[in-house]
Structure 1
């Protein structure tokens, strides 16, 4: 009988030999501009789903491989295509659900990219391209790990496996909750691995144990019935831009910390993290000061933040001597773990209404809500994951918080309360997810794929008595 050590060595060899194919397949996926936002070609999201489904079928492991959509509640629309695949557990083994998403962020300003965003380009040990890290690398880490397990132990293993590759995570996962409901029996698992987070650095793996929540909405500020001449009426009539700027400035105190009553903070220890590291990882130039108070990581992991992510107002090219009657802004707030997203939105709206200058009229729309997440680290799956990460990277993993949000995790917790949820990822702090020149550190990907393959092998050996 093959020993556990021999199995693990075989997994290691298979994972290493499978990296070139995994990276080649990643390149194929990156070439598909699968942007699920309104206004983009959603046929590309379908093409991406079909490409991912083809890779899943190529493993030969799954009894069911489908591309499915679910309705968006409260609308007549359906969501973007998701790939689902199932393989039943045998002989008392657990079932693991592997999640990632195949849709990507819009490109933004093409001129800021050093190479074409949908042409994967290798430079200095990194693969550049939109989705190269977030999150098509997550898709390929899952598929590559399954390939390695299959090559090492054959297709006749007992571990149950479910794949769920979403197609609209970047666009708000609007059909996610309905998709869980529609496919609950097939998605049910003992362990859920969400490969959509990051690591401490390019060499040190991490388990994400806390995530901030978020609320995002559009606010319109109106002060005039129509545009008016700035020379004729300026100085007596408030224009919408003036009112909007004064109103938005009330969000922050002089340190740049959020100053909205009703938004909470989490009191938790954070590991050492220097201002020098922040400047390096965030691209903060000399002379520009960090904002907020407390330890740097407490500001990112455990306190709220508010960002104006978009504005509709006259452009510089179209500027004229006119008082603007209306502007619109998109506001994105990140919320401390432990705060309810809807309650936080209500606090922000109340703050804005209370501080609207000159009687400016406010209108709110397009609200989105995502609750924060705290991981229960006491389960056996967390221990197995830490062990696999250590073996895969050769470095002890660390537990981290993340300032970003993965709102659908709250849906997973609600629908599958008995599942142990592990949040991992292939990104490092220099990956620039959502930004121009997004990239994947190849060595980090190599270690992440190996670590997941070793985790799958461990779970395949976990008997019902464990």
Structure 2
């Protein structure tokens, strides 16, 4: 393989055809079904699939086929198949084409649906999460062909409901099982790393459990002068119930079902990454506010291997300007738990429900609605061939050693892939990093890092046994 041609092809694509295609993709408001109940009739998801299909089908790769697959009542997927020239087995490259909504006001000169190229970044919704994945996969295959590289059979699978929790993906994995075949390597292009200077692999993801908790003490509000001290505040009951779950001073979870032992290899990865100055969070901290811990290793563990509780919504609480001297009848909170990668989400959710509904203070009425959960993911050990390939790629492409970290978010499809392909190796990576603003205003994609990650993917494809 001519490494110079490989790099030049990828660079040219990300400065030209791939960048142009991704820019047009940004302009399609392909909201995930959770944010567009009329997605089927609105047609934006189908438009995104068709736009990317045409771009991928134009790649000059021998034997390449691209098809939009549509099961009745489900969001479509895009399936690319390239027969390859090398080993047996199949590599699956994953990405998704559905998007988050605008999520607020964007900065002057920026817009979620108008691509803007500025300072080496492409701004726009879906550029970094996760439209680039389709173009990176196509660019890697085209570059391998032009450079004379050998690679095994490769399938690119692009779904359109990831931002809704991938509810349709399992059905498609089952439907396409025979076409996809025996999978030996999964490359996922939908995560962020610790910086823009090296190749980052995600080796774990947290699970999630969430529910709506409502505590009611009165049928209707009562003047607080007439009722306080006679009836306990619903908010006080909520506080007592939450104290069963969490130490409010430290954030430590008190239920054993919400705690796990951190695997030694993951702890070693975290310490190694921290020692090299990686994992620097860029958060919009209010002046004077401190992080939850001083030790950076503890911060990473908090974010990747420990359960955290966040109150993400509330009801029964009037706005400050509208609040009067009333003992409110109820307090409702949306509770969101990020669970350790190896915790059982169903067991955790059951334990949470029991703690919140057993022996409730003052006999207050407790209701739990919309409770659900999803498991996390912990990567299998890397095979020797993959370790040596990553070492070589990192030196040649990035000039720095690769690093592995866990991520604090939840991506359900990785658990699906792990169950569907239990013998596969996993490379979970991407060009996103600190400050990239996925899911919030001013989303952007680091184009230089994207080209490097694309080149790394091409090398990994060429080295798969």
TM-score (norm 2): 0.85
Q: Structure 1 residue aligned with 2:90, among 67, 92, 95?
A: 95
Larger CA deviation: 360-369 vs 227-236: 227-236
Question: Does the 8 Å CA contact 1:209/1:399 hold for their aligned counterparts?
Answer: yes
Aligned residue number for residue 399 of structure 2? 394
In the TM superposition, residue 172 of structure 1 has moved relative to its aligned partner by: 0.7
Distance in 2 separating the partners of 1:436 and 1:184:
38
Distance in 2 separating the partners of 1:218 and 1:121:
39
Aligned residue number for residue 285 of structure 2? 284
Distance in 2 separating the partners of 1:134 and 1:315:
35
The number of aligned residues is 446
3-state secondary structure, aligned to 1:110: coil
Question: Does the 8 Å CA contact 1:221/1:360 hold for their aligned counterparts?
Answer: yes
3-state secondary structure, aligned to 1:143: helix
Aligned residue number for residue 298 of structure 2? 295
Larger CA deviation: 127-136 vs 112-121: 112-121
In the TM superposition, residue 417 of structure 1 has moved relative to its aligned partner by: 1.4
3-state secondary structure, aligned to 1:170: helix
Question: Does the 8 Å CA contact 1:382/1:422 hold for their aligned counterparts?
Answer: no
* 1:63–1:221 CA distance, 2 compared to 1 (3 A): farther
* 1:297–1:169 CA distance, 2 compared to 1 (3 A): same
Aligned residue number for residue 25 of structure 1? 21
3-state secondary structure, aligned to 1:115: coil
* 1:402–1:91 CA distance, 2 compared to 1 (3 A): closer
In the TM superposition, residue 79 of structure 1 has moved relative to its aligned partner by: 3.1
Q: Structure 1 residue aligned with 2:174, among 169, 176, 181?
A: 181
* 1:15–1:398 CA distance, 2 compared to 1 (3 A): same
**Pairwise mapping of residues 166-177 of structure 1 onto structure 2 (< 5 A)?**
166-177=159-170
Distance in 2 separating the partners of 1:444 and 1:14:
15
3-state secondary structure, aligned to 2:164: coil
**Pairwise mapping of residues 337-376 of structure 1 onto structure 2 (< 5 A)?**
337-354=341-358, 356-358=360-362, 359-376=364-381
Q: Structure 1 residue aligned with 2:185, among 188, 191, 197?
A: 191
TM-score (norm 1): 0.85
Deviations 1:149-185 (A, max 9, x none): 233339xx66211010111111111122222111112
* 1:101–1:356 CA distance, 2 compared to 1 (3 A): farther
Aligned residue number for residue 52 of structure 1? 52
Aligned residue number for residue 165 of structure 1? 158
Distance in 1 separating the partners of 2:388 and 2:97:
28
Aligned residue number for residue 212 of structure 2? 218
1:311 equivalenced with 2:305 (yes/no): no
Aligned residue number for residue 452 of structure 2? 447
In the TM superposition, residue 421 of structure 1 has moved relative to its aligned partner by: 1.6
Distance in 1 separating the partners of 2:134 and 2:207:
24
* 1:251–1:185 CA distance, 2 compared to 1 (3 A): same
1:410 equivalenced with 2:411 (yes/no): no
Distance in 2 separating the partners of 1:450 and 1:177:
30
Q: Structure 2 residue aligned with 1:119, among 114, 123, 132?
A: 114
In the TM superposition, residue 307 of structure 1 has moved relative to its aligned partner by: 1.7
CA RMSD, aligned part only?
A: 3.0
Aligned residue number for residue 126 of structure 2? 131
* 1:144–1:278 CA distance, 2 compared to 1 (3 A): closer
**Hey, which bits of structure 1, 4+ residues long, moved more than 6 A?**
276-279
Aligned residue number for residue 336 of structure 1? 340
Aligned residue number for residue 208 of structure 1? 202
Distance in 1 separating the partners of 2:229 and 2:113:
49
Distance in 1 separating the partners of 2:147 and 2:317:
61
Question: Does the 8 Å CA contact 1:206/1:397 hold for their aligned counterparts?
Answer: yes
Aligned residue number for residue 105 of structure 2? 110
3-state secondary structure, aligned to 2:246: coil
* 1:277–1:412 CA distance, 2 compared to 1 (3 A): closer
Question: Does the 8 Å CA contact 1:198/1:425 hold for their aligned counterparts?
Answer: yes
3-state secondary structure, aligned to 1:127: strand
Question: Does the 8 Å CA contact 1:95/1:160 hold for their aligned counterparts?
Answer: yes
Larger CA deviation: 119-128 vs 317-326: 317-326
Question: Does the 8 Å CA contact 1:11/1:454 hold for their aligned counterparts?
Answer: no
Gaps of 5+ in 1: 72-77
